[in-house]
């Protein structure tokens, strides 16, 4: 009799363990490789086609289609023929200083991981010192079976001139560690004389179903001669992924 009872208890314990293991959440999917700077046409390779896209853009023949957040290949805050040259040399297998430059502390990139909510950086550019901030709503208790929303905001402004101009891009996205969905991004801006903004626009673009971009740009004009430019397009990008991370990038040109 005692053996029958023990066998029954062992069976019940086994059933409980099976049920418990079946209810356990599966591990979170491993994060895949991030986009590479220079992949302008979003085909997940860096080659001469990307360099050609930049040259067409510089010549005024391009459009907004593609992953332009990745176009500043040499991280000098400018989009010009030097980026195309860096990509050509990189594609040819030659050693290129500062490309890719994701780890360069002087680059135009700021990043927030899922658990981080704010970062700030000052960057020297040909037009002077620019301050960049990236902030995001906090996330807690993430599980693979849930979908979470996060809002990321990137802002650049004139740090040397007492905030004579400011441009801010904000985007909300939803993610579940498998994919993500984007809301409509929007820009806000401000300026003091002699600066003024024009041609403001914002849109979304996609590198993959797990990595997408919120894109924003506006033309900063000056009513008096300013060293380096009369007018200049500022581009802001927020890279968002299925793991809740935000990466901000910006350049002019």
DSSP string, the chain: -HHHHHHHHHHHHHHHHHHHHHHSPPPPPPP-PPPPTT-TTSSS--SHHHHHHHHHHHTT---S-S-GGG--TT-SSB-SHHHHHHHHHHHTT---TT-S-TT-TTSSEEEE-TT--EEEEEEEETTEEEEEEEEE----S--TT--EEEEEEEEEEETTTTSSEEEEEEEEEEE-SS-EEE---EEEEEE-TTEEEEEEEEEEEESSSSEEEEEEEEEEEEEEEETTEEEEEEEEEEEEETTS-EEEEEEE-
Of the candidates 131, 37, 43, which has an alpha carbon nearest to the alpha carbon of residue 79? 37
Is the Cα dihedral 13, 14, 18, 24 positive or negative? positive
pTM of this prediction? Answer: 0.80
Name 154's bridge partners.
134, 169
| pLDDT digits (tens), the chain, 253 positions | 544 443 443 343 343 333 433 344 445 556 666 788 889 999 888 899 999 999 998 888 877 788 988 888 888 888 889 989 989 988 887 655 545 554 444 456 787 776 788 888 887 776 678 888 899 987 755 565 688 999 999 999 887 666 789 999 999 999 998 899 999 999 999 999 889 999 999 999 999 999 999 999 999 998 887 665 678 899 999 999 999 999 998 888 7
- In sequence order, which residues have a C-beta less than 8 Å from that of residue 25 and are 6 or more positions away? 143, 144, 145
Residue 83 and residue 74 in contact, taking contact as beta carbons nearer than 8 Å: yes
pLDDT of res. 13: 31
pLDDT of res. 24: 42
pLDDT of res. 20: 37
Structural domains for the chain: 35-106 (1.10.1330.10), 108-252 (no CATH)
């Amino acid at each position: 009799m005692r053996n029958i009872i023990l066998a029954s208890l062992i069976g019940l314990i086994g059933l409980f363990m099976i049920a418990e293991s079946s209810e356990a959440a599966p591990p979170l999917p491993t994060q895949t490789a991030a986009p590479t700077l220079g992949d302008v046409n979003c085909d997940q390779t860096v080659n001469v086609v990307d360099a050609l896209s930049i040259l067409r853009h510089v010549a005024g023949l391009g459009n907004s289609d593609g992953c332009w957040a990745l176009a500043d290949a040499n991280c000098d805050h400018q989009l010009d023929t030097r980026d195309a040259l860096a990509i050509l040399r990189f594609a040819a297998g030659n050693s290129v200083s500062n490309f890719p430059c994701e780890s360069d502390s002087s680059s135009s990139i700021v990043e927030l991981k899922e658990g981080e909510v704010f970062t700030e950086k000052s960057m020297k550019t040909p037009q002077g010192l620019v301050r960049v901030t990236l902030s995001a709503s906090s996330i807690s208790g993430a599980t693979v079976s849930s979908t979470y929303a996060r809002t990321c905001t990137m802002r650049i402004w004139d740090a040397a001139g007492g905030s004579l101009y400011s441009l801010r891009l904000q985007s909300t996205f939803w993610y579940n560690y498998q994919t993500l969905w984007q809301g409509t991004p929007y820009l806000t801006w401000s300026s003091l004389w002699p600066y003024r903004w024009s041609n403001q626009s914002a849109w979304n673009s996609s590198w993959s179903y797990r990595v997408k971009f919120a894109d924003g740009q506006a033309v900063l004009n000056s009513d008096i001669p300013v060293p380096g430019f009369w007018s200049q397009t500022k581009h802001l990008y927020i890279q968002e992924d299925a793991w809740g991370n935000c990466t901000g990038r910006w350049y002019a040109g």
